[in-house]
Structure 1
Amino acid sequence: MKYILILLLAWFSLPVNAQSDRNRPVYTVGVVPQFAQRKLFDIWQPILQALEHELDFDLELVGSPKIPVFEKKFLAGEYDFAYMNPYHMLKAHDSQGYVPLVRDGSRQLKGVLVVKHDSAYQSVADLNKKIIAFPSPNALGASLLMRADLVGLHDLEFFPRYVQTHSSVYLNVALGQTEAGGGVLSTLQKQPPEVREQLRVIYETRGIPPHPLSAHARVPEEDREAMRQAWLKLAKTEAGRQLMARIPMYQPIHADLDEYLPMREWGLDRFYIVE
């Protein structure tokens, strides 16, 4: 009896919001690991915490150490919400019914090919039969689009080296471990100055609408829309803009599946690798 009284006293001494949180649904959020896990959590956790103030449910950030692990998880439908590249979006839609909610409206996603700043390489042709680093086979701008362009448009022969993250690509090139590397402009700009200043862009791929935040089909439509509206509302605040710029998502807008459907005609499946 004494033990029960102690538990009851502890319960009623909790703040009201702490008690009500026990009854809130919890949705998982997966994020494509463009950065190391610590940096990724540092970017996303404050955003999710801010969103929870506008939502009737909680958000649990779930990390993935490598892009292939992230792919397996969304293809299995493990995430309720997921931030993924546009080609992943199509794969996730086909396999699990994911639908896009918001994306950055200020730019397009393009792959960039970087070399060491003081290297002699000036064009794609100079990299014939050279080693080129990529984050993973299925990273869209940095790897899928880049390999499709290098092979399909430039008939280049090269040796790919997959190094897991964008940051690792840039470091490999800066240290001279590979002659070149595929990335995207947004992650290149996020590198430390001592790395970024050692690199030079020699090629850009075609552009497409960037990564959407998406929702699994099992998430009720009202919760999907609540997430979208909470995101757009947060983006209108100065604090929200600063948080989202770190993703980076500079101008969040409504995202639609139709924006990503043209990629079905680009022949990217030739370069997509199931691991």
Structure 2
Amino acid sequence: MRLLIILIFWTLSAASTAIYAAQSDADKVYTVGVVPQFEVRKIHTIWRPTLDLLEEKTGYRFILRGSASIPEFEQEFIEGKFDFAYMNPYHLVIANEHAGYIPLVRDHGHKLHGVLVVKKDSGITDPSQLKGKTLAFPSPNALGASLQMRQELHDNFGINFTSNFVKTHDSVYLNVLLNEADAGGGVQKTLNSQKDQYKEMLRVIYKTTGVEPHPFAALPEVPVEVRNRVRDALLEIGQSKEGRKLLAEIPINSIGPARMDDYLPLKLLNLNRFYVEPHQ
């Protein structure tokens, strides 16, 4: 009888533990950081529907944690404050070195190119004409729009210019339109999102060499099974018409797995010459 009681006790205890673990798993909240290429409200409009669908498929909860600026975002991922983060490719190199972030998925449908824009009526048609001019960039470390753009203008054209960092891609285009800058660095995604009347007044005069696009990455402290479930759910979302439409807003047009090896070629560009460490 005593043995029977002990067996019943252990059975009930194991069942309770399993139920508690399942409840804890379902109640777990993970933070998601997104590089602030746009203002916070626009980022929430883009990302919240995808995260809602991800919650349905995984059973986890995801809180979108906004950063006021790209440097603030950089400091936060260096400190490992996001469980998951959507970041530019060179950010991943830095985030992997400092906090161990692991890429899960990326867009397999395009390469990331920085674009250099001028006002259409400016008369500037080539980067060599920008010697001594003022150029607007969203931040020092925005990859295509700023970091790689400044590297290529320096290495490929040998020009010196004044850099004005204006926090967002939207502000870059506005500075060019208002004649506050002679040219500005952005990426095709953010240029395409501008109002039609703005786009009609801008002209692209240069594109950087293409690199693999922004990854969605996870902190290594996130359990492997959670990372795998999130990765698989995102890949599944990319298989449906509704899911592809949501991902295209990010934009991820053809989602697929990501590996750290995809981004190692960035180390060969010696971008650390232009990278600015975020302030503590």
**TM-score in same-fold range (> 0.5):** yes
State how far apart, in whole Å, the 2-side matches of 1:87 and 1:47 are.
24
1:91-118 CA-to-partner distances (Å, cap 9, x unmatched) read 1111111010010111000111000011
Which residue in 1 is equivalent to 2:221? 218
**Matched residue SS, 1:82:** strand
Q: Is the 8 A contact 2:36 2:168 kept in 1?
A: yes
State how far apart, in whole Å, the 1-side matches of 2:75 and 2:35 are.
11
Residue type of the alignment partner of 1:260: Y
Matched, 1:47 2:50: yes
Fraction of identical pairs, as percent: 48
Q: Return the TM-score normalized by structure 2.
A: 0.90
Q: Is the 8 A contact 2:26 2:59 kept in 1?
A: no
State how far apart, in whole Å, the 2-side matches of 1:77 and 1:234 are.
26
Which residue in 2 is equivalent to 1:108? 111
Matched, 1:149 2:152: yes
Matched, 1:36 2:42: no
Q: Which runs of 4+ in 1 moved over 3 A?
A: 20-23
Which residue in 2 is equivalent to 1:242? 245
Which residue in 2 is equivalent to 1:138? 141
Which residue in 2 is equivalent to 1:3? none
In structure 1, stretches of 5+ residues that fail to align are 1-19
State how far apart, in whole Å, the 2-side matches of 1:233 and 1:117 are.
42
State how far apart, in whole Å, the 2-side matches of 1:22 and 1:272 are.
39
TM-superposed CA distance for 1:238, in Å, is 1.1
Matched, 1:206 2:205: no
Q: Return the TM-score normalized by structure 1.
A: 0.91
Matches within 5 A, 1:69-148: 69-148=72-151
**Matched residue SS, 2:92:** helix
TM-superposed CA distance for 1:56, in Å, is 2.8
**Matched residue SS, 1:260:** helix
State how far apart, in whole Å, the 2-side matches of 1:97 and 1:21 are.
25
TM-superposed CA distance for 1:186, in Å, is 1.1
Matched, 1:163 2:154: no
Matched, 1:255 2:267: no
State how far apart, in whole Å, the 1-side matches of 2:135 and 2:253 are.
30
Give the alignment's Cα RMSD to 1 decimal. Answer: 1.2
In structure 2, stretches of 5+ residues that fail to align are 1-22
TM-superposed CA distance for 1:21, in Å, is 8.7
Residue type of the alignment partner of 2:134: I
Figure out how many residues of one structure are paired with residues of the other and give that number.
256
